[in-house]
Amino acid sequence: MTEIRVIPRDRVDVLGEGLFWSVRDGALLWTDILGQRINRLVPAEERAEERVESWETGDATGWIIGREKGGFVAGIGTTVAAVTLDPFSVETLAQIAGEPAGNRVNDAAADEQGRVWLGTMPYSCDKPVGAFHRLENGMVTRAAPEACTIPNGPAIDPQGRFMLHTDSALGVIFRYALEQGELGAREPFITFPGDESWGSPDGMTFDAEGHLWVACWGDGAVRRFAPDGTLVRRIALPASQITNVTFGGDRLDRLYVTSAADGVDEAHGGALFELDPGCAGLAACLYRG
């Protein structure tokens, strides 16, 4: 059985998301979208010495990603902002144009060329008025023609051939061919059962073996899929609304998982979890801009 640790802290996340392991800082960053916060975990060999810090952003905060020139970029409201943590500051870099009132950012990921791929969605979670965008050289442009209701989990395979993206409302993980910063046609890659036995696909990441790890909202689990999309493993977690997953630690062999407290009464709803997955991940890419 996999040992699961609940990271001790003085608060839980209303809607935890946006996990990013900073190799440069030896720290885990993540966001609380509805709690309007950026969080940081600094692990330590002696767990009693690890620390968790949190900063208020003033608007829905979907993701945070390291910046090659230093600091971070984050999706806040319907903007992309430059963020520093020590001391804390936020500066708007770009507006995400064309977003209707009532939309916000959700999840994002960077690729090896330093682009950031990000989704937008309605607060109501019930209308296909969101979109999938690309941030490059300080500009945000629409990356795919399809509308989204709950866009989630962008993940790029280790060879950089495919972009995986899901609409949680549809229960489908889609795959796009990725070539020179452009997406090919969208095709279904993994379809979750319609009976909700797997919940809904949320945040995703690849491990170093090319397997895909998926946070399963509503099922209280993360699932691991082989490169051909075959399910090979399920790890249950003590919270139902699992939102995101990433690898971290000095050897990138710890799996960190976020969850949401919004709408549930659970002992560990909104907790941050750490577990040993028995494999390692890949260093996260940085925004080059």
Q: Residue ranges of the domains in the chain?
A: 25-275
106 annotated as belonging to a binding site for a ligand? yes
- The enclosing H or E element of 45 equals none
- The catalytic residue positions are 202
Give the C-alpha separation, 284 to 97, whole Å. Answer: 27
50 annotated as belonging to a binding site for a ligand? no
Tokens standing for residue 173 = 């993980």
CATH number of the domain located at residue range(s) 25-275 in this protein: 2.120.10.30
* pLDDT the model gives residue 61: 98
Tokens standing for residue 217 = 């909202």
Q: Show pLDDT as tens, one digit a residue, over the chain (289 residues).
A: 789 999 999 999 999 999 999 999 999 999 999 999 999 999 987 767 899 999 999 999 999 999 999 999 999 999 999 999 999 999 999 999 999 999 999 999 999 999 999 999 999 999 999 999 999 999 999 999 999 999 999 999 999 999 999 999 999 999 999 999 999 999 999 999 988 899 999 999 999 999 999 999 999 999 999 999 999 999 999 999 999 999 999 999 999 999 999 999 999 999 999 999 999 999 999 999 8
CB-count burial class (<10 Å; 0-12, 13-18, 19+) for 12: buried
Residue with tokens 């950031």: 116
Residue with tokens 């998301």: 17
Q: Which residues is 247 bridged to in the sheet?
A: 255
* pLDDT the model gives residue 271: 98
* pLDDT the model gives residue 37: 98
17 annotated as belonging to a binding site for a ligand? yes
Strands 79-85 and 103-110: unpaired
Give the C-alpha separation, 215 to 201, whole Å. Answer: 6
Give the C-alpha separation, 59 to 130, whole Å. Answer: 18
Give the C-alpha separation, 229 to 21, whole Å. Answer: 25
* pLDDT the model gives residue 196: 82
244 annotated as belonging to a binding site for a ligand? no
Cβ neighbors of 133 (< 8 A, separation 6 or more) are 96, 117, 118, 119, 120, 140, 141, 142, 143
* pLDDT the model gives residue 49: 86
